[in-house]
Each structure stands twice: as C-alpha cells, then as structure tokens.
C-alpha cells in the first residue's frame, strides 16, 4: 500500500500533506484501483478526506467494482462524509457493480438521514464540483495572503526592535504583533525608545497580555529604550505595512514630534517630489508657531508616505527648511518665499493626482479654524488648481 493510502487510513493529515507536497498524485491508485480517498472514507477519517478533496481528489473515482467513496460512506453511515463528498461534487446517481446508487445503499443499510440528505440535493454534480473548486481556490488565496501579511508584520516588528522581546516572553503571535504595530502606527512610534517615552503602559495594555508576560516585557523594553534610539527607515516601513494591511488612512492619527521627521533633505527632498508617482502636499501653520499643528503634519506624512509604491508627502515644515538651504535663504527670506516654494510643489501634486492635506484646528467643518494668512493662501491656491483637499484636525 502506498504511503498516502496508509496516511489516509490512519487519519494522519500531516503525513498526507507531506506526501502531496512531495508531488504525489492525489488520485494514485492501489492494487484494487482505489484512491486514498477510499481509505479515508472507509475508516471515517473526515479531515483526511477534506484534505484530499481540497487538494483536488476526484470525489467520483471508481474502484474495480465501480464503487465510489460515496457508496462506501452510505454503506457505513458516515453522514458527515456524505455531506462533504456531495459538496465537493460527488455524483449521487452513480451506480456500482450491483447497479445500486449511493441512495440505494443507504436505504438498504437503514440510514434514513443519509437518504434524506441525498434526496435534498438538486444541483448537478459538475455544478457542485465547480463551486467547491472556487471555494478552495478562494481559501488558498486568503491563506497565502495571511501568511504574507504575517511575514511582513514580523519584519516590521524586527525593524522596530520589538520582535525579539516579544519572542522572549512567548508573545510573538500574529495577533500580538499586529496589535503592537497598530499601536505604533497610531502613536507614530518608530522605536522601543518611542514606546517607552510615549506611553509604555498604554502599549502593554493594547497587547492584552496576561500579567506575567506583560511584566516581563516591561522589564525587557525599558533597558532597550536607553540604548536604542530611532531606527532608520522604521517610519517608512511601518507606514508601508499599515497601508498594505489596512489600506487607506484616517485624519485622526496621533501626533509625532517634528524631530522624528524621516523625509530627505535639501536637493534629495526635492528629487523625491520630481520622481514620485504621486505627490501629496501638506498645508500647515509653521511648526515653531504652532507645535501641535506641526506634530499633526509630521504624523500625516508618516502615515501616508509609501516609498515602495512611489507615494511621497511633502511636509512644508521640514521641506521648506530644505528649500531654504538649497536656495541660501535665511529664516526671514524663507517666510517671504514660503508660498512661492509651496506652489511649486503643488504643481507637481496637481500633475500626479495628489491630495492637499490641510491641518485645521477643531473637530469638523462646524468648528474648523485655519490659522494664519499664509495657510489660507495655500488653500486658495490648491482650490484654484483643482487639487482635492482633505482636512486633518488637531
């Protein structure tokens, strides 16, 4: 007997999967011309049968005497197998060497529930088979997506310096890692130091750990924060991960200090504007005059920047400082040239189909306040250019 038949007979799903992963034919036959699905059915190993059917086993395979797995299930009264086989496209009207259908077998064996189940099926087997294969394909795609997302999340957690501490307290599960990264994205934390300095207890609470792992993790993170500052590239990595997993963004993100700005500077900053596929632009009060608005602008850039997708957000609080360095402007001259330089970038935003994110005081349209004449001028320019405006409130 082939190894796959043995695995199906014993109900060993892992061994069965291993044989299939090695390339074994899912419908390989033994000396009686039976496939492994017959063994799974005859021994009532439902999960092995499900595995075989999901991997493409023929539910209508016939043995030497023209018996099918459905005949066997009806003979032994395995109603769950009957239900599974029918869903996968088993033919309820097929006849064996005695000219009996599976229903005839169930009737003779006095399994009225199986007879009723067979009678309730009205669709053709090929239709059920097609629907089964579509369902299996969708499940495989979802599983592959989940694996890719979990791998990406672990990579981001490692970039932030979180993966090893979580593993040390046996809390590096996909769910805990996702919760940790969601908190970091919301709070714009890009290192263990950010987490400890900002709100370590809030972070631990978000992970929903039991008391002992939480206590151990607290003890691990605090010493690390004293040795490790911001990790280069972490902000962009977190942003790209959140974009790929959750998609889109909200305008209620938390603030991030200006000194955490991870964009490029000087000529390189404007090279990004020229080269990006999509350029968004921020309209914000000057951060030295309004630190709260500046923090919100930094958080907005952090959230929407996605280098891997060619998306770049121009934050004037830092970008225009870079422009001043390029053009040799002092702070006073920079203020005079602010709108002209901002408008230059807006042209690129218009051309690439980007958005103007406006930092506004308040909670919504009813109490929205735009602070400063320069910012109002920016909004007017954006409106005249037909650039979409999205308000971000602080």
Mean pLDDT of 68-76: 95
The tens digit of pLDDT for each residue in 31-56 reads: 889 999 999 999 999 999 999 999 99
d(CA 78, CA 111) in angstroms, rounded, equals 9
The tens digit of pLDDT for each residue in 187-221 reads: 777 778 878 877 888 899 999 888 888 888 888 88
Instruction: Point out the least confidently predicted range of 44-53, 141-150, 151-160, 227-236.
Output: 227-236
The tens digit of pLDDT for each residue in 245-284 reads: 434 333 333 333 333 333 334 455 566 777 888 999 998 8
Supply the pLDDT for residue 131: 87
> At residue 343, does pLDDT exceed 70?
yes
Closest CA to 286 of 314, 264, 318: 318
d(CA 303, CA 309) in angstroms, rounded, equals 13
Query: Residue 53 is encoded by which pair of tokens?
Result: 């059917």
Instruction: Point out the least confidently predicted range of 63-67, 76-80, 368-372.
Output: 368-372
The tens digit of pLDDT for each residue in 79-136 reads: 999 999 999 999 999 999 999 999 999 999 999 999 999 999 888 888 888 888 888 8
**pTM for this one?**
0.47
Question: What CATH topology corresponds to 3-122?
Answer: 1.25.40
Supply the pLDDT for residue 94: 93
Supply the pLDDT for residue 184: 82
Supply the pLDDT for residue 255: 34
Supply the pLDDT for residue 166: 92
The tens digit of pLDDT for each residue in 307-323 reads: 778 888 888 766 555 55
d(CA 41, CA 80) in angstroms, rounded, equals 10
Sequence-ordered alpha helix ranges (H) in the chain: 3-10, 13-21, 36-42, 46-54, 69-76, 79-87, 102-108, 112-120, 125-160, 163-168, 174-187, 192-207, 211-227, 234-246, 266-275, 291-304, 316-327, 331-352, 373-385
Q: Where are the domains of the chain?
A: 3-122, 150-227, 249-393
Query: Cβ atoms within 10 A of the Cβ of 29, count?
Result: 16
Residue 369 bridge partners (DSSP): 361
Supply the pLDDT for residue 253: 35
Mean pLDDT of 223-232: 49
**Mean pLDDT estimate for the chain:** 80
Query: Residue 156 is encoded by which pair of tokens?
Result: 């981001």
Supply the pLDDT for residue 388: 93
Supply the pLDDT for residue 304: 86
């Amino acid at each position: 007997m082939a190894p796959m038949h043995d695995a199906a007979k014993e109900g060993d799903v892992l061994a069965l999967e291993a044989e299939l992963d090695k390339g074994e034919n899912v419908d390989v036959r033994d000396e009686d011309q039976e496939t492994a699905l017959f063994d799974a059915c005859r021994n009532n190993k439902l999960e092995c049968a499900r595995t075989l059917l999901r991997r493409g086993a023929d539910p209508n395979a016939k043995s030497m005497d023209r018996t099918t797995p459905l005949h066997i299930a009806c003979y032994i009264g395995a109603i769950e197998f009957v239900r599974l086989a029918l869903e996968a496209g088993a033919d309820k009207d097929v006849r064996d060497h005695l000219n009996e259908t599976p229903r005839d077998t169930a009737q003779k064996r006095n399994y009225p529930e199986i007879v009723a189940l067979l009678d309730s099926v009205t669709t053709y087997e090929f239709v059920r088979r097609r629907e089964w294969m579509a369902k299996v394909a969708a499940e495989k795609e979802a599983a592959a997506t989940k694996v890719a997302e979990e791998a990406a999340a672990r990579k981001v957690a490692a970039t932030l310096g979180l993966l090893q501490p979580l593993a040390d307290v046996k809390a590096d599960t996909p769910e805990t890692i996702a919760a940790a990264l969601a908190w970091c994205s919301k709070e714009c934390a890009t290192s263990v130091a950010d987490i400890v300095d900002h709100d370590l207890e809030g972070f631990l609470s978000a992970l929903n750990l039991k008391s002992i792992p939480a206590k151990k993790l607290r003890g691990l993170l605090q010493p690390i924060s004293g040795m490790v500052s911001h990790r280069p590239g972490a902000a962009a990595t977190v942003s790209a991960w959140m974009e790929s997993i959750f998609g889109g963004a909200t305008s209620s993100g938390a603030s991030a200090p200006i000194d955490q700005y991870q964009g490029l500077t000087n000529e390189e900053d404007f090279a990004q504007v020229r080269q990006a596929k999509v350029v968004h632009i921020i309209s914000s009060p000057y951060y030295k005059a309004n630190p709260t608005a500046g923090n919100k602008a930094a958080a907005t850039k952090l959230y929407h920047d996605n280098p891997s997708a060619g998306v770049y957000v121009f934050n004037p609080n830092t970008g225009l400082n870079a422009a001043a360095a390029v053009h040799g402007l002092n702070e006073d001259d920079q203020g005079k040239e602010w709108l002209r330089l901002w408008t230059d970038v807006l042209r690129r935003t218009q051309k690439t189909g980007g958005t103007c994110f406006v930092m506004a005081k308040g909670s919504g349209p009813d109490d929205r306040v735009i602070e400063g004449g320069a910012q109002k001028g920016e909004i007017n320019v954006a409106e005249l250019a037909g650039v979409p405006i999205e308000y971000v409130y602080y």
